[in-house]
Amino acid sequence: MNLETLPQVLYGLDGIREILSFDENAILYKKLDYNLENNEKLITAHSIVYVVNGKVSITTLDNEEFVAKNGEMLFVPRDSYFISDYLKDEKSMEVYLLFFDHDIVLKFLEKMPISSNNKSTICKLLVTDNIVNYFTSIEQMHFNNTHNKHLLEVKLLEFLHLLSETESFALTLQSSEQSKQKRAIDELMVKHYDKNISISEFASLSGRSLSSFNREFKRKHHTTPKKWLIQQRIHKAHHLLQDGKSVTESAFEIGYMNVSHFIKAYKEIYGKTPKQY
């Protein structure tokens, strides 16, 4: 499977209408006349998925499945890795996707003196009449400048406040932010080293700049994260080859989309090509 990083990968795709978007913040409308199944995704911003028609299924690394059908809505916290299915019914698949970053969340939470130890996780949200009316109004809006940062911020904050009217959504967001702040570099790298995730994406997921990420990692492990990542991936591929996997299968399973790059990296560590081994 090819890993997709959201929301960036969605911009400009067929079937996607960018209502408003700026960097990792966006309000998108997605319409498909076919199913999208078994898509591997990493999300770098908090997300809301509102299903107009069809069914959305999200499966986490722990094999927990979350499903939203017509008129239902899911919250996905930032830095989540999951497998998704977008399934149409007799009509086209239609969903709204909202993405909002750390800064938007801080502005939303700043006037809410809350404290919580709630688990930060994917969850289903209550859809009220006001939420339905919000998406109805969004559908009818067409902006001359779809990259208006300030207008996008206003519309996202409006939506978050509508969510907070009837449930403890603010607590869920705060838990996610606290979890983000505590996330260690080692936890991220060990958990996802065999995924097709770049060093810059690991840095973003850890809440650090790329330079800070590289500096902290090298200070602790006495090597660069890039070299460590290659070594861990190649060692896993070595065991896969021992178990009878082909060179191509082993390369894809550890996140290499280019088999020749995998062969070169393997030879640098083991002194011979996978085929020679």
For residue 98, pLDDT over 80 is answered with yes
Q: What are phi and psi of 208, to 5 degrees?
A: -120, 160
Winning range, highest mean pLDDT, from 107-111, 147-151, 207-211 = 147-151
Q: Are residues 167 and 214 in the same domain?
A: no
Strands 36-43 and 46-53: what pairing?
unpaired
Split into its structural domains, the chain has a count of: 2
Q: Is the domain of 110 the same as that of 42?
A: yes
Higher-confidence residue of 115 and 146: namely 146
The predicted model gives 255-262 an average pLDDT of: 87
Report which of 268, 260, 252, 234 is spatially closest to residue 196, judged by C-alpha positions: 252
253 and 152 assigned to the same domain: no
Residue 12 has pLDDT above 90, yes or no: no
Domain boundary among 161, 180, 199: 180
Average pLDDT of span 27-38: 92
**166 and 236 belong to one structural domain:** no
- Mean pLDDT of all residues in 104-118: 73
> CATH number for the domain including 111?
2.60.120.280
CATH label of the domain that carries residue 193? 1.10.10.60
The verdict on 116 and 141 lying in the same domain is yes
Residues 35 and 150 in one domain: yes
Domain housing 269: 184-277
pLDDT of 181 above 60: no
Structure tokens at 151: 């207008």
Give the whole-angstrom CA distance, residue 148 versus residue 156. 12
Q: What value does the mean pLDDT take over residues 148-176?
A: 87
Indicate whether 151 and 18 sit together in one domain.
yes
pLDDT-derived band at 177 (thresholds 50, 70, 90) equals confident
Give CA–CA dist 17/117, Å, rounded. 37
| 3 state DSSP class of 265 | helix
Rounded Cα distance between 77 and 45, Å, is 7
Q: 31 and 168 share a domain? A: yes
pTM of the entire structure?
A: 0.71
Q: Are 128 and 206 members of one domain?
A: no
Same domain, yes or no: 50 and 167: yes
Tokens of 223: 């090597």
Assess whether 25 and 120 both reside in one domain.
Answer: yes
Average pLDDT, rounded, for the chain: 86
Residue 81 clears pLDDT 80, i.e. is over it: no
Give dist(CA 165, CA 156) in Å, integer.
15
Q: Among 130, 147, 180, identify where a domain stops.
A: 180
Of 180, 201, 234, which one is at a domain's C-terminal end?
180
What was the pLDDT predicted at 89?
Answer: 87
Q: Are residues 138 and 249 in the same domain?
A: no
Place of tokens 């996707």: 97
